[in-house]
C-alpha cells in the first residue's frame, strides 16, 4: 500500500499543471460568464452575475482587482477581451480563512461589462 501511495504522489508531482481535475477545454468563447481575476497576473476565477457584478471565492480577496472578460486563452490577446477594474470588493462578513466557511465575495465593476460581444 505504501508503494502505491508513493507512486501516486510521484505521478502527481510530475503531472501537467492542469488546475481542473478531469476537466476539458470548452469551445472558445462559449462561457461568457467566466472571468479571470488579475492583479498583475491571473490568480482566481469568477462568474459574471450581471453587467456590474462578479461572484468569486472570498479566499481570492484582494482590495483592488482587474476583472478580465471575454478571454479563452489568458496567455494570448484575442481581441475579445474586456479589462475592467473593480470599484468595490465585498467579502462575506462571516468568511473564515481558518476553515474556509462562507467562502464567497462580490466584486463591483467600475463600469458595466459589454454583454453583447
CATH code where residue 36 lies: 2.40.10.10
pLDDT tens column, 56-111: 999 999 989 999 998 878 888 888 889 999 999 999 999 998 998 999 999 999 99
Q: What 8-state DSSP symbol labels residue 2?
A: H
CA distance linking residue 110 with residue 86, whole number of Å? 5
Burial class for 66, CB neighbours closer than 10 Å (0-12, 13-18, 19+): middle
Q: What cell was used for 93?
A: 462578513
Whether this prediction's pTM lies above 0.85 is answered by: no
* 21 within a domain of the structure (yes/no): no
81 lies in which domain range? 29-117
Domain total for the chain? 1
* 2 within a domain of the structure (yes/no): no
* 23 within a domain of the structure (yes/no): no
- Greatest Cα pair distance, the chain, in angstroms, is 56
* 7 within a domain of the structure (yes/no): no
Amino acid at each position: 500500500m505504501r508503494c502505491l501511495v508513493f507512486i501516486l504522489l510521484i505521478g502527481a508531482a510530475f503531472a501537467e499543471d492542469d488546475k481542473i481535475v478531469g476537466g476539458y477545454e470548452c469551445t472558445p468563447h462559449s462561457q461568457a460568464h467566466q472571468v479571470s481575476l488579475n492583479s498583475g497576473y491571473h490568480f482566481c476565477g469568477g462568474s459574471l452575475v450581471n453587467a456590474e457584478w462578479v461572484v468569486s471565492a472570498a479566499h481570492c480577496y484582494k482590495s483592488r482587482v482587474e476583472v478580465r472578460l471575454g478571454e479563452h486563452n489568458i496567455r494570448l490577446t484575442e481581441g475579445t477581451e474586456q479589462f475592467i477594474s473593480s470599484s468595490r470588493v465585498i467579502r462575506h462578513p462571516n468568511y473564515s480563512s481558518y476553515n474556509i466557511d462562507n467562502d464567497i465575495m462580490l466584486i463591483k465593476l467600475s463600469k458595466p461589462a459589454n454583454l453583447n460581444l
